[in-house]
Amino acid sequence: MTKGNLFAALRAAFPADLDQVAIETADGGAPLYYTWRDLERGTAMLANLLASLKLPPMSRIAVQVEKSVEALMLYLAVLRAGHVYLPLNTAYQAAEIEYFIGNAEPAVVVCSPRSFGWMSKLAFKRRVRHVFTLDEQRGGTLLERAAQQGDQHQPVRRGSDDLAAILYTSGTTGRSKGAMLSHGNLLSNALVLKDYWGWKPGDVLIHALPIFHVHGLFVASHGALLNGSRMIWFSRFDPRTVAARLPEATVFMGVPTLYVRLLGEPALTREACAPMRLFISGSAPLLLETFTDWQARTGHTILERYGMSETVMLTSNPETPASARRGGTVGLPLPGVSVRVRDDKGLPLANGEIGGVEVKGPNVFKGYWRMPEKTADEFTTDLWFKTGDVGRFDADGYLTIVGRSKDLIISGGYNVYPAEVEGYLNDIPGVDESAVIGVPHADFGEAVVAVIVPKPGASLDERELVAGLKGRIANFKVPKAVFIVPGLPRNAMGKVQKNLLREQHKGLFTA
């Protein structure tokens, strides 16, 4: 079953009655209803457009567009046509995009019409032959061209090891790495989750996450598609409108920030949540406080699971019984996925002991795009992937993530690598050095904070520093606070003691 094109497996799960509604938009204004037949025809036309371009097999199709049902169809069409999908966060700025295009060498770029000027310039410079546009209102050249194509298309044959998508994840040092995920990686994980989370006939998913990362693109979309389930589709998360639609849904997936914001919504009541079957959280640690507040307020126990771009989902709390879901833990390894905890020397640790989390299984990616050395660094000699997360198992096999060995901040479910932000800060005239840290934040979980040392004689202004970064890097990486200091604390080896800075600033955003 895990053999072959992922699109074909998703298509096989469409309901027999293709005229049922598959996706309903819910952003205010008149809703749009997309039937399963619309998905079938729309993805065929887009796949035919890609086929008409006569691209080499498994070309990369890089996409930076606002969330829309057509953007989801584009993803499915890329799979259907046998090419490789490369989604890009809409927050990324030109300098960040230039790197991805240079590294991935896509054959096609799809961007929003308002980015076409700069995007086409840098794409053509990198010899990308085709740049299309797509906006949230079904406008742009992509759909104009697809409208001229036939609506029948035979999915291209693909093996389970063939690449389906490349997801860029930042590196602890240096540049982002493209995690290569195969059709088999994605399908095996989707099938396991369908079973493990007990997807049922009649389930309805509220889809309110972005579709350029694992959570919204794979876990949520594949889950609904593979179950032939209707989606209520929000192009952006708004707690008020999402809470208003809960009575019509059965499954919701969110990063912890979404749960925190929903708890601030008076319409989130036990009655509103009565038809709901499952609330799933992941991408960042869910505070125990949010877990228990949610239980008290809605009567539902959030199911927390753990995953990453390189491995899709690794562990999950059980769907049934709800009482087996343990707050503060990420649950048990998924069926077919092996997870172990080892110490720095690679020795296995007993339950209760804290060490590096490693994983093996059909979900684990094929390596980093054109970076064999980096790939080798991230695997043990016996070929387990080192997640960079630190955790412990308890006696019942539940995993708790207690920290990260990678210097990573997760803010509202987005990853920020301090080294990357420090690099941009250090390039600003007058900056001698900088230390970027994550501190607790009531809404985003963690917030990015920068501590900066000016060059002798230079005068720096916090607001100008922030303004200088905006437009150069994605907004979620821009520090929420900046401190200018005469020097950074260092240990005897000369290493910056970020733990002291974290301690000093830990109360900034939690009051």
Q: By C-beta, is 178 or 282 nearer to ligand AMP?
A: 282
Q: By C-beta, is 115 or 169 nearer to ligand AMP?
A: 169
Is 250 a binding residue for ligand AMP by CB under 6 A? The answer is no
163-169 and 108-111: which strand pairing? Answer: unpaired
Is 333 a binding residue for ligand MLC by CB under 6 A? The answer is no
Site string for ligand MLC, 246-285 (x = CB under 6 A): ---------x-x------------------------xx--
Stretch that binds ligand MLC, among 27-35, 117-125, 331-339, 406-414 (CB under 6 A): 406-414
Alpha carbon 209 to chain centroid, angstroms: 9
Q: How far apart are CA 264 and CA 258, in angstroms?
A: 10
Q: By C-beta, is 87 or 184 nearer to ligand MLC?
A: 87
Q: Left if phi > 0, otherwise alpha if psi is -120 to 50, otherwise beta: which for 199? A: beta
Query: In a 3-state reduction of DSSP, which class is residue 295?
Result: helix
Q: By C-beta, is 39 or 469 nearer to ligand MLC?
A: 469
CB of 240 to ligand MLC, least distance (A): 12
- Report residue 80 as tokens: 């259907």
* Residue among 170, 209, 255 at smallest CA distance from 445: 255
> If 0-12 CB within 10 Å is exposed, 13-18 middle and 19+ buried, where does residue 457 land?
exposed
* Residue among 117, 69, 55, 119 at smallest CA distance from 92: 119
Window 273-332: residues binding ligand AMP (CB under 6 A): 282-285, 304, 306-309, 330
Binding site partner of 330, from ligand MLC, ligand AMP, none, Cβ cut-off 5-8 A by kind? ligand AMP
Question: Which helix (H) or strand (E) covers residue 8, if one does?
Answer: helix 6-12
Query: In a 3-state reduction of DSSP, which class is residue 296?
Result: helix
Question: Which helix (H) or strand (E) covers residue 445, if one does?
Answer: strand 445-454
Beta-carbon count within 10 A of 87 CB: 25
Is 207 a binding residue for ligand MLC by CB under 6 A? The answer is no
Q: By C-beta, is 154 or 338 nearer to ligand AMP?
A: 338
Which one of residues 237, 368, 385, 424 is an interface residue with ligand MLC (CB under 6 A)?
Answer: 237
Q: How far apart are CA 297 and CA 363, in angstroms?
A: 35
Binding site partner of 4, from ligand AMP, ligand MLC, none, Cβ cut-off 5-8 A by kind? none
Site string for ligand AMP, 185-224 (x = CB under 6 A): ----------------------------xx----------
Is 413 a binding residue for ligand MLC by CB under 6 A? The answer is yes
130-133 and 385-393: which strand pairing? Answer: unpaired
Query: In a 3-state reduction of DSSP, which class is residue 511?
Result: coil
- Report residue 381 as tokens: 């000699």
Which one of residues 47, 49, 81, 214 is an interface residue with ligand MLC (CB under 6 A)?
Answer: 214
Is 211 a binding residue for ligand MLC by CB under 6 A? The answer is no
Q: Looking up tokens 């607790």, which residue turns up?
A: 440
CB of 481 to ligand MLC, least distance (A): 12
Is 85 a binding residue for ligand MLC by CB under 6 A? The answer is no
Is 239 a binding residue for ligand MLC by CB under 6 A? The answer is no
Site string for ligand AMP, 61-100 (x = CB under 6 A): ----------------------------------------
Number of residues that bind ligand MLC (CB under 6 A): 20
Question: Which helix (H) or strand (E) covers residue 136, if one does?
Answer: none
Q: How far apart are CA 209 and CA 216, in angstroms?
A: 5
Binding site partner of 404, from ligand AMP, ligand MLC, none, Cβ cut-off 5-8 A by kind? ligand AMP
Is 401 a binding residue for ligand AMP by CB under 6 A? The answer is yes
Binding site partner of 389, from ligand AMP, ligand MLC, none, Cβ cut-off 5-8 A by kind? ligand AMP
* Residue among 190, 185, 196, 192 at smallest CA distance from 225: 190
Alpha carbon 91 to chain centroid, angstroms: 13
Q: Is the dihedral of CA 332, 337, 343, 349 positive or negative?
A: positive
C-alpha distances in Å from residue 450, one per residue of 434, 456, 502: 7, 19, 10
CB of 42 to ligand MLC, least distance (A): 24
Is 166 a binding residue for ligand MLC by CB under 6 A? The answer is no
Q: Rule CB under 6 A: which residues touch ligand MLC?
A: 209-210, 213-216, 237, 255, 257, 282-283, 307-308, 411-414, 444, 475-476
Where do contacts with ligand AMP occur on this chain (CB under 6 A)? 169, 213-214, 282-285, 304, 306-309, 330, 387-389, 401, 404, 410, 415
